[in-house]
Structure formats: C-alpha cells, structure tokens
Amino acid sequence: MNKQNNQNKKRKIEGIVVSDKMNKTVIVDVWRFKKHPLYHKVLKVSKHFKAHNENNEAKIGDKVIIEETRPLSKDKRWKVIKIVKKNQGEKIDEEIKLKEETPINEKIESDIDIIVKN
C-alpha cells in the first residue's frame, strides 16, 4: 500500500534536452510561468535538471518527459520516461556546429564590417 502511494507522488515534468554530452545523462531545460508577487507581471522562468538517460536515446532538442526518482548521483534526481518529440534538435545542432567551426577572427571581422557599414 505504501509503495503505491509513493509511486503516485512522483512528479513528472516536460522539457527540452539542451545537452547530451555526458554518458547516460541529459540536461533538460524546463520552462514555467511565475507571477511576480508585488507587480503581478507574468515571468517565464527556466530551470535545468540532470536526468538519467539509460540507452542514450534522447538527443539535443528532443522534447522529453522526466520523472522524479531516488538520487542516482550527486546531481541526478530525475530519469527520462518518454521522448515526446524527436528531430527537433537538428536545427540546434547545425547552429552549434556553425558557431564552433567559425574562427574567432572571422567573427570579429564580420562584426567590424557591420559596424563600419552603419
């Protein structure tokens, strides 16, 4: 009876994978809306969670559902339950590769050209 109650209390949240460089671990970015207590403005707040990804199935940009679990390491308290949407990360991967491949000198020169033209 006690085990069933504990299983029902586990939180499940949905987020986007922002890093998969670690073995069997992904970093999931979760967004939520929070209302400022005094000014009542709605703010978009994000938080990163390290989640266990047993078969390294989740990749950058995938939308996943993670579930709270027992501590697996110093920072890992979540595990990937389901990949909701795949192939969202192809655009993100291409942008990251382009940024890494472009040498710093070219970036500076292109910035200088933009400033000079204006």
- For 43-102, the pLDDT digits (tens) are 999 999 999 999 999 999 999 999 999 999 999 999 999 999 886 445 555 555 555 565
Task: Name the CA radius of gyration of the chain, rounded.
Answer: 20
pLDDT of residue 104 exceeding 50, the answer is yes
Q: Same structural domain for residues 96 and 47?
A: no
Q: Would you state the pLDDT for residue 35?
A: 95
* pLDDT recorded at residue 88: 47
If asked whether residues 71 and 92 sit together in one domain, one would say no
Do 27 and 79 fall into the same domain? yes
Same domain, 68 and 107: no
Q: Are residues 45 and 99 in the same domain?
A: no
Q: How far is CA 113 from CA 66, 99, 102, 103, 118, in A?
A: 45, 18, 16, 16, 9
Do 81 and 104 lie in one domain? The reply is no
CATH of the domain at 73: 2.40.50.140
Residues 53 and 97 in one domain: no
Tell me the residue range of the domain where 96 lies: 88-118
Half-sphere exposure of 11 (CA within 13 A, CB side): 6
Kindly indicate the confidence band of residue 111, based on its pLDDT and cuts at 50, 70 and 90.
low
Q: Record the pTM.
A: 0.66
Are residues 72 and 14 located together in one domain of the fold? yes
